[in-house]
Amino acid sequence: MAKSAESALVVVLCCISVAVFTAADDPYRFFDWNVTFGDIFPLGVKQQGILINGQFPGPDVYSVTNDNVIVNVHNSLTEPFLISWNGVQQRRNSFEDGVFGTTCPIPPGRNFTYILQMKDQIGSFFYFPSLAFHKAAGGFGGIRILSRPLIPVPFDTPAGDFTLLVGDWYKANHTDLKARLDKGKKLPFPDGVLINGRGSNGYTVTVEQGKTYRLRISNVGLEHSLNFRIEGHKLTLVEVEGTHTLQTTYTSVDVHVGQSVSVLVAADQPPKDYYIVVSTRFTVTVLTSTAVLHYSNSNQPVSGPPPSGPTVEIDWSLNQARSIRTNLTASGPRPNPQGSYHYGLINTSRTIRLGSSAGLVNGKQRYAVNSVSFISQDTPLKIADYFNISGVFRVGSISDYPTGKPIYLDTSVMPADYRAFVEIVFENKESIVQTWHMDGYSFWVVGMDGGEWSPASRNGYNLRDAVSRCTTQVYPRSWTAIYIALDNKGMWNVRTEFWGRQYLGQQFYLRVYSPVQSIRDEYPIPKNALLCGRAVGRRTRPL
């Protein structure tokens, strides 16, 4: 609920406006957040963090499929601010996506009310600050979307449900890291790894012996893949980013930057305390952090070294990724089996190949997709598109395939037809593991392998039970292929989840377009939308 009569009025009016487009029986959940700077000490050093209602990390967003989630965000920072909702598809409503290509920032001292519907979604996701380099300061939190009560979940209700936000972290303030990037320099190696905003043994999960618990693990870090494991316990994977998976049991699970997974853990060991361990993958120096799995009847604290995990083994991670499959017997957010969509029987109408690269432009470090390093404009692209403001971007300013040209700067927007079914191949010729995310969608990860992709690579695609998710990894000197049904009209950010690379240009926007203007396909601009840049002075719609 809002902190002032004005804010409360905004929330009420927003709810009235969104009700036109949502079913009357879909419940509303209201959140009121105050975003502030505050002192945090996650690695024992004082630094400036971003707090939500005084919390670091921020509060969980709890919802059920099709809920209308109303989040009133008060920006009490000294600079503009935006929150994006990693994995929430914003069906027909890219205006609410919360990245600068779609949404004007919230000015200091102002508030903005996000109107989200968790339409036809379940699963584990997270939110984060998308502007400037705020993600390095906090401002992130978990999102859990539960299944509707009438739709069965393919496992017994766990005794508890925990969100674990893990990620690499720097002792330097986000302002210092941003200044380094602005000077055209790369980020240094991080200083540590956090678990729910704390360093080693700073967080405890309490369980009862004999019961089973769900852990929702999201890698909210800036750059590095992480391995997650629990001393003496097995992890049963049950969900990734909205898809119920085959219930495969692992000793540890890789969670690449930007990804979310759910595992079940049975508290079936002798009653004592056990290490929860998170460590960096594919790094020469391995950073490790621990939390504590505490049995409620334990009187023995953790002791000795935490269990080791995989370090630089690519094949280990690749084989695990290939083993993650959709559970075809489970229901999804709708009461029909997830396997009934038969994605493997649909012919693709287009192949898009996306090559990542790094290099210098005017003596400064930049990163690119198909040789184009993205630069922002003063006006969000979606808003400029809505108001037909010329000169902000040019559709087709990025190629469908790697061109081999030197890196150059542009506001890259790729055209796509609404309701097309396309193949996208992420190509990584570098020596690092990349992670790619697409707003507005889930996609089927049909294949990944080393070397060069070619049309013959399709012979190895999984066209039966590939997992559907919104973020996928691409291994060094390798490729990853996805299939995607472009059934969500709008302007959607496609980006690396390596945040320094994203900040320095490794992203673009996919304009999924139809000439038909109908609220059946896309909602009009929200009545409360903030307008900035060349859209200042325009009107949204009358309240």
H-type helices in 140-217, by residue range? 174-182
Of the pLDDT bands very low, low, confident and very high (cuts 50, 70, 90), residue 10 is: very low
Whole-number Å distance between alpha carbons of 74 and 72: 7
pLDDT at 13 over 70: no
User: Within 13 Å and on the Cβ side, how many CA atoms surround 124?
Assistant: 25
**Cis bond upstream, residue 190 (ω within 30):** no
Whole-number Å distance between alpha carbons of 143 and 86: 9
Which pair of tokens denotes residue 436? 């790619």
Whole-number Å distance between alpha carbons of 21 and 143: 23
Whole-number Å distance between alpha carbons of 25 and 116: 16
| 8 A C-beta contact, residue 470 and residue 438 | yes
When mean pLDDT is compared across 15-19, 176-180, 371-375, 537-541, the lowest value belongs to 15-19
What residues have CB less than 8 Å from 437, skipping those under 6 apart? 86, 258, 470, 471, 493, 494, 495, 496, 497
Query: Can you list the domains of the chain with their CATH numbers?
Result: 28-146 (2.60.40.420), 160-323 (2.60.40.420), 343-535 (2.60.40.420)
Beta strand 28-40 with 47-52 is antiparallel
What element of type H or E holds 386?
helix 381-386
Q: Which residues pair with 424 in a beta bridge?
A: 352, 482
What element of type H or E holds 351?
strand 350-361
Chain mean pLDDT for the chain: 94
pLDDT tens figures, 312-369: 999 999 999 999 999 999 988 876 655 556 899 999 999 999 999 999 999 999 999 9
pLDDT at 19 over 90: no
Which pair of tokens denotes residue 458? 């399709």
pLDDT tens figures, 60-84: 999 999 999 999 999 999 999 999 9
Residue 539 burial by Cβ neighbours in a 10 Å radius (0-12, 13-18, 19+): exposed
Which pair of tokens denotes residue 449? 């392998």
* DSSP code, position 308: P
User: Within 13 Å and on the Cβ side, how many CA atoms surround 492?
Assistant: 28
Of the pLDDT bands very low, low, confident and very high (cuts 50, 70, 90), residue 7 is: very low
Q: Three-class SS string for 58-77?
A: CCCEEEECCCEEEEEEEECC
What count of other Cβ atoms lies within 10 Å of the Cβ of residue 407?
18
What residues have CB less than 8 Å from 6, skipping those under 6 apart? none
Q: What is the pTM of this model?
A: 0.94
